[in-house]
Structure 1
Amino acid sequence: MEIIMAFVIGLLFTAAVYLMLSRSLLRIIIGTGLLSHGAHLLILTMGGLDGKAPPVLTDGVTDFADPLPQALILTAIVISFGVTAFFLVLAYRSYQELDTDDISAMKGGSEDDE
């Protein structure tokens, strides 16, 4: 299962980097979302996917899963949701003001500067 997750994580990171290197602001925002999802899966995979023991410690239990990766992922999901919402509002406002979502047009460069 870890091999499949490694390929999925690599695919998410690859797609995220490709999208973040584009000129469109919306594609950059989608790329950051994919990057955060890849990071969440990476933390979950490094925490272990065996699922044999619950992450609850009760009396008499000697084998238990580490709940720290799950807590970190829940916290990271909330933070990435807030950051994505902020980026979307910022992109919408910049599109209202500048009538474009092209990064090179936003910074004042001409379209022929490639």
Structure 2
Amino acid sequence: MSASGILIVIMAVLFACGVYAMLERSLTRVLIGFLLLGNAVNLLLLIVMGVPGQAPFHGASGKTSDPLPQALTLTAIVITFAVSAFLLALIYRSWQLGQADTVEDDEADVEVRERGEDIEEAFDDEVELEEADDEDTTDFVGDATAPLTVLHHRDIAGIDDDAPTDRGEEP
């Protein structure tokens, strides 16, 4: 396996572990997952960069390396650092207030979940009724349709052609 193949496998493992860790309720695991995702993105940009060790300008061999992934990698490092600092502050504050770093459901979350379950049950009942009454007809069978009319912009705006204008002109 080549060096790029090994980097791709490592990157995929970091992405998978990062996403798995971010799906937990613990803020510490969310932070670890975010750091893993940040490192996976840096590896992705390293792989996309091209031939490693090449300068971003023409060398003696005439080959070039793309400077954009290098700039994006530096930007990704800064963004990962900033969001990690924010998450650390959030974890610290959560620990100060509740002696835990887990995110618990509050009353509004429970209410929204129950409302969603009620809506889902009503939707399922409606779908069952529609499937029971399903026929090969459409809703428009036997209905007369009116022709479309084109309105002038003055009709839409409600401008009366017989009314005097603001400039004192007669219609």
TM-score w.r.t. structure 2 length? 0.56
Equivalent residue, structure 1, for 2:49? 47
**Structure with bigger gyration radius:** 2
* Superposition deviation, residue 38 in structure 1: 0.3
Q: For 2:106, which of 80, 105, 108 is the aligned residue?
A: 108
Query: Which residues of 2 match residues 10-89 of structure 1 at below 5 A?
Result: 10-48=12-50, 50-51=51-52, 53-57=54-58, 62-89=62-89
1:6 counterpart residue number: 8
State the match for 1:93 in structure 2.
93
CA distance in 2, matches of 1:10, 1:89: 29
Q: Matched residues, percent identical?
A: 42
Please list every run of 5 or more consecutive structure 2 residues that lacks an aligned counterpart in the other structure: 108-171
Question: Between Structure 1 and Structure 2, which shows a larger proportion of helix residues?
Answer: 1
In structure 1, C-alpha distance between the alignment counterparts of 2:92 and 2:52, rounded to whole Å: 42
Superposed displacement of residue 53, structure 1: 3.2
State the Cα distance separating 1:99 from its structure 2 match. 1.8
Distance apart, 1:61 and its partner CA: 7.2
Query: Distance between the aligned counterparts of 2:10 and 2:56, measured in 1?
Result: 25
Q: Distance in 1 between matches of 2:11 and 2:35?
A: 13
Any runs of at least 4 consecutive aligned residues in structure 1 with deviations exceeding 4 A, and if so which?
none
Q: How many angstroms apart in 2 are the aligned matches of 1:53 and 1:31? A: 32
How far apart in 2 are the matches of 1:22 and 1:52?
38
Alpha-carbon distance in structure 2 between the residues aligned to 1:64 and 1:56? 6
| 1:95 maps to amino acid | W
Q: Are residues 54 and 32 of structure 1, via their aligned partners in 2, closer, same or farther at CA, if it must alter by over 3 Å?
A: same
Normalising by structure 1, what TM-score? Answer: 0.81
Which structure 1 residue ranges, 5 or more long, are not aligned?
A: 110-114
Please, what is the CA RMSD of the aligned residues?
Answer: 1.9
Deviations 1:50-107 (A, max 9, x none): 236322347x873221111011101110111011001100110111112211112xx3
Aligned length: 105
